[in-house]
Amino acid sequence: MFERRLPQDDPTKGEVMRTKKSQRPALVVAALAAASLVLAACAPTDAAGGGSAGGSGDETSTSSEPVDVGIIYSKTGPLAAYGEAYYEGFQAGLDHATDGTGEVDGRPLNVTFHDDGGDPDKAVGQAKDLIGKGYQILGGTVVSGVALKLAEQAEQNKVLYISGPAAVDGLTGINDYTFRSGRQSLQDVATAGTFVDPDGAKVVVFAQDNAFGQGNLAAVEAVLGGQGAEVSSVLVPEDATEFTPFAHQIVDAEPDLVFVAWAGATSGAMWQGLDQQGVLDSTTVVTGLGDVATYGAYGVAASKVDFLNHYFPGAAGTDVEAAMLEAVEAAGKQPDLFTPDGFVAAQMIVHAIEEGGDDVDAMVDALEGWTFEGPKGTTTVRASDHALVQPMYQVKLVADGDAWVPELVAEVPGEDVAPAEAG
């Protein structure tokens, strides 16, 4: 019997879904991060221990036997808010893709959920346990370091792995068995480049002088520099609290575009500093729009910043998005930045099972080159390297009483910001 959703106070119990493998050449990586940037069939399972409910992995299984799917995601940890959005989207997507039955071709989907807590070692242990129990389909994680480790497990054990919101570029083309249900960092950077004509433009990357900031600089150099932009940087020590001298460096450079990649507690002071020194009035300043909780972080500077965006509720205006929003809101939850990533993961898993049965390589074949209508619109799994080509957005924040809310400026076609093919 299929239960539409799990108890809302425990998104780690419950089931629904199914299994198999894949195949694909390892490719290369580009740059990290850009600016911010889960149902029941049989018995419930515990998130941490991750027991299966009904899975057998038996090669002689009949067509009526359940299909096991293990979702490893952050219920807790520093990115738990992202994990919750993914989970709620997955619930909605699974219901949508199976027409509310929780079955594929008459087979119940047994989905179990497991909390990685943002810890790669914990996630690998959970994956090995699930694979040992016969699971052939894994999904999830919002953490790039976790996703890369799970991709290794997918290749070693020839199981299908569909990552969640983890944006690390190295996941694309890493092996035959790994796919993604969200965008990657290079798509963020390419979207930033749609605010100006990159050819001949002076672009300054303003970021913290750490791995995150340096990764963003490398991405901008690769993407916008490759389109003819002259890229320079102003990298700020992580412990800086006074931003006036760095703002002056930006003004002196007279850039056509400033790409801001920032994270942490100093964000508010940083934006205030750029605003006070006239940076926001003198040029186009672009950064990534994160989850709903961050909308108020820019203060009065919000109206002067241009935002690249993966998703905000209402951005797409598609029928599929409307179904997703309705389902999540009916569950008493708020749609957010990574809700589509969970929804798309469910769509991909159901399609893989429908077309591939219990053959992982057939599942891979079914996903490669598949074009479908996701919450954001027309979405394609690129056959060559499994990049997920999808629309992106230009957004402004506008005042709504005492709050700030996103307003769509333009939808950017997926093909216009698709990453270069790996390899």
| Mean per-residue pLDDT, 395-420 | 96
Using alpha carbons, list the distances in angstroms from residue 389 to 234, 347, 381. 31, 15, 6
CA-to-CA distance for 395 and 20, rounded, in angstroms? 39
Least confident of 26-35, 324-333, 396-405: 26-35
Of 217, 307, 216, 203, nearest to 255 by C-alpha is 203
Least confident of 69-78, 135-144, 261-270: 261-270
| Mean per-residue pLDDT, 244-267 | 94
| Mean per-residue pLDDT, 387-396 | 98
Percent of the chain with pLDDT over 70: 85
- Asked if residue 69 lies in contact with residue 349, where contact means CB atoms within 8 angstroms, the answer is yes
Q: Phi and psi dihedrals of 351, rounded to 5?
A: -65, -45
In this structure, what token pair is assigned to residue 343?
A: 């929804």
Binned at pLDDT 50, 70 and 90, residue 162 comes out as: very high
| Mean per-residue pLDDT, 364-379 | 98
Of 100, 95, 3, 89, nearest to 42 by C-alpha is 3
Binned at pLDDT 50, 70 and 90, residue 125 comes out as: very high
Using alpha carbons, list the distances in angstroms from residue 305 to 19, 110, 280, 328, 396. 44, 45, 7, 29, 7
pLDDT value of position 63 = 66
| Mean per-residue pLDDT, 12-25 | 35
CA-to-CA distance for 382 and 390, rounded, in angstroms? 10
Using the predicted structure, report yes or no on whether residue 184 has a pLDDT greater than 60: yes
pLDDT value of position 37 = 39
Amino acid in position 121: D
SS (H, E, C) 126-150: HHHHHHHCCCCEEEECCCHHHHHHH
Using the predicted structure, report yes or no on whether residue 338 has a pLDDT greater than 60: yes
- Asked if residue 58 lies in contact with residue 64, where contact means CB atoms within 8 angstroms, the answer is no
- pLDDT by residue (tens digit) across 61-98? 456 899 999 999 999 999 999 999 999 999 999 999 99
Q: Phi and psi dihedrals of 203, rounded to 5?
A: -115, 130
Using the predicted structure, report yes or no on whether residue 273 has a pLDDT greater than 70: yes
pLDDT value of position 21 = 32
Instruction: Quote the mean pLDDT of the chain.
Output: 87
Amino acid in position 387: A
Q: What residue ranges define each of the domains in the chain, with the CATH number in brackets? A: 67-183+315-389 (3.40.50.2300), 187-309+392-417 (3.40.50.2300)
For the chain, the C-alpha Rg in angstroms (whole number) is 21
| Mean per-residue pLDDT, 136-161 | 97
pLDDT value of position 252 = 96
Binned at pLDDT 50, 70 and 90, residue 423 comes out as: low
In this structure, what token pair is assigned to residue 360?
A: 């992982």
Of 128, 126, 134, 167, nearest to 148 by C-alpha is 167
Least confident of 72-76, 150-154, 216-220: 216-220
